[in-house]
Each structure stands twice: as structure tokens, then as C-alpha cells.
Amino acid sequence: MDLFYTSTRDDSVRVKASQAVLQGLSAEGGLFVPEEIPALDRGLEELAGMTYQEIAFEVMKLFLTDFTREELLHCIEKAYDSKFDTPEIVPVREADGVSYLELFHGPTIAFKDMALSILPHLMTTAAGKNQVQDEIVILTATSGDTGKAALAGFAKVPGTRIVVFYPKDGVSPIQEKQMVTQKGKNTFVVGIRGNFDDAQSGVKEIFGDAVLKAEMKAAGFRFSSANSINIGRLVPQIVYYVYACARLYKKGALKEGGTVNAVVPTGNFGNILAAYYAKRMGLPLGRLICASNENRVLYDFFRTGCYDRNREFILTSSPSMDILISSNLERLIYEIGGRDSGKAAALMKRLSEEGSYEITPDMQEKLGDFYGNYASEEETAAAIRRIYEKTGYVLDPHTAVAEGVYEKYRAETGDEKVTVIASTASPFKFTGSVMKGLGQECGAADDFELADRLSGLSGTEIPGAVREIRNAEVLHHRVVEVKDMKTAVKEFLGLA
């Protein structure tokens, strides 16, 4: 049977998976959600004998029901191949009694590769299934990692163009170099004078511009998104939580009837929402530990039931989490609100107009799966140093935020259950912050010089993703004010 998708803001919407992937965002601004969360139809014992690619199929077939078996297998085969630097795709490494789920072995050394390696194939397959003749324009805002992963996925893909907006002064030097050196005539990278929330709000405004949509239609274009608001991004993220539990079961760390806690460094809430969906599918996950940095909007939400973005925006050493509007939280709000689209739409309207909203006590009671906390900049640096000195294992700042929050969780609850931490980026992507965390003097060294030193300290090879951009030519120079984002898109498409 087909699984249909509705909108968090309009219950009358009902589309197939391929249509949801193509559209990215529902017409009224809501996010697509499955009408029900399907149950896993394979047990851990069976899953433990499967490869990453085989588990990907077992999960995706349940959500993407209008894709044929052959179509899904083709997309998976194209996505999870030699572009990853290990045949495992996602190694699970032990350090200091915790399992680290290494999600950074793809072409851009960040967890976004796990979904953005497959999204272009899902999208072009979906376009064929729905007889779409228009050229698909991927419009994306990034806090650092999504941008490069999306660019790498869509570059040179026939029938697509991709526009990425990033905060000019809000990403690491290596993140920026990865984006602005991107090759491919169908790619366009633009810095904005503002933060990630400005970029994300600007992108949503462009999506909702009816006049522009009509102009694009007349010119043979249609928008879609590579952000985690796209269900085609979210579903592949569920896979690695299933894979982690299967691996822990195979190793004997997860016993029959036991559960695993998951710690997830979180900004836009997509990665931890995928864990929540995995748990709803029947995966034996325990507490979902939401780790925030000093932009602690999610921590405050889980403690108080009030979501309030009216606060100072802080630039931290974990820039991919420097977010005050966590878009994917809307999907959780829809679920805990009894799947009431009117209630979700009203709260999102309040967030847009007033910058805050408060959920009801009844909704707050349904957040029991989650634990929220945050790590300060000092605690993040301390986590990097502590784990390295105890084990020789090096964490990137985002994973260090998760480690710092996990220590607080253990101290607060006494829970020593088997735990997996989502390790979301290579430390080589944030060499300056990592070296400072390790107590190393950086001086005037640039991030590439620091990568050489980090390689020596950690005994690990510099990833190819860093080596290849060291001397790469900068191809994208555009920087605009937030108000000029739409004009930049129109110019790229030849509509200005």
C-alpha cells in the first residue's frame, strides 16, 4: 500500500512520496509528514547481517512507497559507493565507553552527505515518475555543511540547478572554501550579510513568492529544496540510526529487550527528528538527548515548553548549530499536537509574527522521549581535550557539544545505558577550533597548516575533501544583502 504525505499546516494536502520529494515544501509553507509512521518489518538479528546499503533499502521502501524496488536500489547504489572513504559507509567507533556513529566519511566530511548523496537521485527519479519537464532549481540555505554537500550532490546533474546561500561571516574557513570553489555551471553560491536564520527566512520567502513562481513556470523552472525540510533528506537520515542499533546488536553491546540512548548535536532539529521517527518505527532507542550550543533555543524549549527566538544570535565554534529557528521542530510540534494542522499552523504563525510560541502542558507531557541541554564554548573545548587525552580520539566541535551534554545527562540522571553519539563532522573541517580545544597554540597559521599539525597529533590522514581545496580556485564571489537574495536568484536563472 502507498504511504501518503500530508502537510503540517493543512490536513487536506495528500501527496505521494515522490511528489513530496519534488516539492520540498507544501504550498502553504507547511512541511510534508507521512500520514503514519511505518513499522520496521525486519528484526535486529536480521538487520545485523546486512550492509549499510541493504538497511537503507529496508528503511526507505517503507517511506518511499511509490518508488519501485529497482528505482530505490538504483538510487542507493549511486549514493553509497566509493565516494565514501570506507566500505562500511558509517563506522561505529568506541571511545571512553561510548559508541561514536561516524557520519563524516562522505565526500564533504560531514553528516549531510548521508542524505545529500542520495537526494539528487531520488529527485530526478521522482521527476521522471511525475512527468516533470521543468528544470528543477534547488534553493538552499546553509549554516555550513548542507551547502557543500548539496552542491556536491547536484553539481552537473542534468535537469537541475542549485543555489546555496550561506552567512558570509558565520561558517568556518574550510566550510567556506569548500563551497566557493565548487565547480559546475549549474551551481551558484552566494554569501549573505546576515546569519543562518536570515538566509533560511529569505529562502522560505522566495519559495512563497507567487509572482516569482509564475515567472519561473513560464521560463520552464520549478523550485525544490535540499534542506532537511525536504522529506527526501529526512528519510535517509533514519537509516543510520537503524544501522547503529544493528551494529551494536551484532557486537553484543545491545541485548534483546535492551535500549540505546542517542545523543545528537542539534541546530535545525532534522538529525534528532530522524532518531525520533526511527524510535516510532520500533527501533529500541531510549532517551533522545538533544545537544545544543550556546544558541540554546532548543534547550530552553525542552525545559519550559516555550520556543523563543527573540535573543542574541551567538557565533560559536560549532557553526552548523548556530540556529535560532529550528525548522524541523515543526514536524514534532505537529505530532505532539495530535497531528492537528490548525494548531501547528497557528503556532508557526506566532513564531513568524512574534518570534515565539508556547505549547500546552498536554503537548509538553508528550516530550518524554527527549532530554535537552547545552554546552558552553568552554565546555565544548574541554570535551575535545578530555576525550583526546583519555583515548587519543579527536572530536569536532559539534560532536564535542554532544559529548559535553552527554556528561551533563549522566550526572543529572545516573543513566549509564548503552549510548551512541552522532559524530556529525570530521575534526579536519574545524581545525582552528579543534587545535585550540587541544590546547595547541595556533598563532597565524591558517586552517590548512593546522590540518597538517592535526594530522600529526591524531595520527590520521588529512581527508581528501580538505586536500583538494587547499589550492583550489575560488569560483563564486557573490555577496548580497538579505533583501537582495531574490534578485540574485533571478539573475542566475536569467529572469532579471
Q: Could you give the residue numbers annotated as active site?
A: 112
- Using CA of residue 315, residue 316, residue 320, residue 325, what is the dihedral sign? negative
**DSSP conformation class of 38:** P
Cα 94 from Cα 304, distance rounded (Å): 34
Closest CA to 210 of 496, 486, 493: 486
Reduce the DSSP state of residue 415 to 3 states and report it.
coil
Reduce the DSSP state of residue 259 to 3 states and report it.
coil
Residue 270: exposure state from Cβ atoms within 10 A (0-12, 13-18, ≥19): buried
**DSSP conformation class of 7:** E
Reduce the DSSP state of residue 479 to 3 states and report it.
strand
Cα 71 from Cα 122, distance rounded (Å): 9
CA angle 196, 403, 418 (to 5 degrees): 125
**DSSP conformation class of 438:** T
Kind of pairing between the strands at 160-167 and 419-423: unpaired
- Contact yes or no for 314/295 (Cβ under 8 A): yes
Q: How many CA atoms lie within 13 A of 399 on its CB side?
A: 32
